[in-house]
Amino acid sequence: MDACPLLSVVITAHNSERWLQATLDSIINALTPADLEQCEFIITDDASADGTPAIIAAFTARYRHAFAWQTQFKNIGKVRNFAVARCRGQYILMIDGDDRLIAAGLSQKLAHLRTHAPDIYINRLIEIPEDAPEPVVTLQPVVTLDRDEAITRFLLHRDYQGHVIGQFFRRDMLRRVAFPDYVCYEDAWVFPQVLMHSEKIIFSSQGFYLYLKRTGSLSVSLSADKIHCLYATLENLDACLPDKFKNLIHCHWIDFAHRHYGELAEPLKDLTRRRLGEIDAWRFYRDSNVRLSQKRKFYQVKKKAR
């Protein structure tokens, strides 16, 4: 492959021996032979202590456009930056080493990239339990979103959240915004930044990426370090998004306090209390974009944070 490929597929793995082979097989099965020639595979094994390196070595020996590196970062933000710096494709797709793709689904998405040439192509993730069968996916149209609509959907968690997995980013767009050195939530930090830099955004509710929910995953095993990362992503929302989204950003702070306020240590607890105090309650309650459930939650959080 002398010319730059259409797509760089970034696969990140850490102690993924149980799942990685199925992940890699699903990627190949998601491509036609012709589209396979338009892809390169950038595989980063970060500090694995199991059989992950052997699985990667076998894959790179089989596919000439597959390239592998081993790192010792133990930090997903650093791993993603390392991988992005080695991509040559027009677009970058990130895949975790324990997820899977729908059969033939990736080739359909590549056709959309060729037709629309977006800055970012957002897709709905399919979240399923790890032992669930592959769902049947129906054909859905691609729609164009202006930046404000894309940001509003992101903040409302309508159709998509701040995941970089399963999304297509123009390589130069992603390189403009480096991932922070976080152990988690690095993608939620980058996602709004990329939206703010994007001129052409397309979205499809037709999923192709199986986000497998596993026991012991991040969502059920938050540590103090991870909570600090989440707090920093909320600070980033305040910093990078325009004031017209302020009430929707407030909702994320309210969710954070509702879930974690009781376990926060100082000074984070006091900083969170102060941030909640910045919310103009009259404007917040009158905003039709804010769900009633969020308004109720705000009332509960205010009592909790007194």
The pLDDT tens digits for 42-64 are 999 999 999 999 999 999 999 99
Q: What is the pLDDT of residue 3?
A: 79
Burial (0-12, 13-18, 19+ Cβ within 10 Å), 13: buried
Q: What is the pLDDT of residue 221?
A: 64
Is the pLDDT assigned to residue 2 strictly greater than 60? no
Q: Which of 187, 276, 274, 196 is nearest to 242 (CA)?
A: 196
Q: Is residue 222 within 8 Å of 262, Cβ to Cβ?
A: no
| pTM score | 0.95
The pLDDT tens digits for 191-237 are 999 999 999 999 999 999 999 987 765 555 678 899 999 999 999 99
Amino acid at 276: L
For the chain, what percent of residues have pLDDT higher than 90?
89
The pLDDT tens digits for 275-290 are 999 999 999 999 999 9
Q: What is the pLDDT of residue 187?
A: 97
Q: Which of 96, 97, 52 is nearest to 70 (CA)?
A: 52
197: Cβ–Cβ under 8 A, 6 or more apart, which residues?
119, 173, 176, 177
d(CA 191, CA 178): 11
Q: Which of 2, 14, 100 is nearest to 56 (CA)?
A: 14
The arrangement of strands across the sheet holding 100-101 comes to 100-101, 209-213, 126-129
Chain-centroid distance of CA 62 in Å reads 29
Structure tokens at 253: 């702070």
Looking at every residue in the chain, the average pLDDT score rounds to 95
- The percent of the chain in helix, strand and coil, each rounded to the nearest 5, is 45, 20, 35
Q: What is the pLDDT of residue 216?
A: 60
Q: Is residue 192 within 8 Å of 240, Cβ to Cβ?
A: yes
Average pLDDT (7-36) is 97
For the ranges 2-6, 172-176, 191-195, 295-299, the lowest mean pLDDT is seen at 2-6
Tokens 């609509």 locate to 149
Domains of the chain: residue spans and CATH: 7-218 (3.90.550.10), 242-304 (no CATH)
The pLDDT tens digits for 119-171 are 999 999 999 998 888 898 998 999 999 999 999 999 999 999 999 999 999 99
Average pLDDT (173-192) is 96
Q: What is the pLDDT of residue 42?
A: 98
Q: What is the pLDDT of residue 213?
A: 86
